[in-house]
Copies of this chain bind each other. A is one copy, B any other.
Amino acid sequence: MISDAAIASPLSCRASLPAQAGRCASAAREPRRDAQREAAHAQRVAERLGLVLSSVEVQRRVVRAGDIVYQAGQRFTHLFVASTGAYKIVNLTRDGREQIVSVKFRGDWLGLDGIADAAHECDAVALDTGEVWAVPYAALVQACAVRPGLMTAFHEAMGRELARDRSSLMSVCTLPADARVADFLHDWAAALACRGLRTDQITLRMTRAEVGNYLGLTLETVSRALSRLAREGLIAFADGARREIVIPDAEALGEFVHDALAPATALQ
């Protein structure tokens, strides 16, 4: 039905939507259901974590900011699950340059990229104090064979990660700098909200340079974007170092991101 139209339609570059970035974020337009959804989601996260705990013997490990969960090049033997804390996934290259490709929170799996070639391709670094569970992959595979529920949950997690990567690709491809930063904050808040954590105030555990690296911007541009967002009242700073960011109205922030694409819509 859409068959031919789909391939023939002209695709303008900025023609895309980021607002629905996370599955969680998509609820932002319906404030009523927000709380419900988030609670439900948080519960599902908890259930999945419980499922893992009950199926496989995991090794708990407390990490502090800067600690490496796993390192690129390491032989892949374990997967990790973030129980608490935040983590950055850094892809680094032979010539020493590095790129942050993802940020992880409670309930997310770490190390999935290592499965393909039996070696980790990225570093995973804790941004904060937290706890990770090390899950031996072999044991997980065995447990999955016995418990189809665990297998589908695991597949779900991988699929979710794919979807998340995609939406971040979309933001980077389509949003101007200010909106990209706004989207980043909005996503971060949404990720916390989905997990039942406080969302009105978030502590960036990354420097401007890191945020910029993640978003494909320079640190100066990130700084300017944050200043502009603050000037417009979409965010506020809670501390002197400007790492604590208050989001008075997450919906407004989402709207701002959405509006950045609106002009393109009109043309179509």
The interface of chain A, by Cβ under 8 A from chain B, is: 2-4, 6-13, 15-17, 19-20, 23, 65-68, 71, 90-91, 93-102, 112-117, 121-123, 125, 127, 141-142, 144-146, 148, 151-152, 155-163, 165-170, 172-174, 207, 209-210, 212-213, 215-219, 261, 264-265, 268
Contact = CB atoms under 8 A, between A and B. Distances in A.
Contacts of A173: 99, 172, 213, 215-216
A161 B155 CA distance: 13
A18 to B, nearest CB: 9
A101 B261 contact: no
How many protomers of this protein does the assembly include?
A: 2
Contact of A209 (B10, B19, B97, B102): B10
A145 B141 contact: no
Given A11-B213, A12-B218, A121-B163, A116 B172 contact: no
A213 B151 contact: no
A172 B100 CA distance: 13
A174 B216 contact: yes
A116 B162 CA distance: 9
Contacts of A142: 148
Contacts of A167: 91
Given A12-B218, A117-B23, A144-B151, A166 B91 contact: yes
7 contacts: A9-B98, A20-B94, A97-B265, A112-B162, A113-B162, A116-B157, A144-B144
Contacts of A155: 115, 141, 158
A206 to B, nearest CB: 9
Q: Which 4 A-B pairs have the closest CB atoms?
A: A17-B93, A173-B216, A116-B159, A115-B159
B16 A98 contact: yes
A142 B166 CA distance: 28
B268 A100 contact: no
Given A4-B66, A6-B68, A100 B141 contact: no
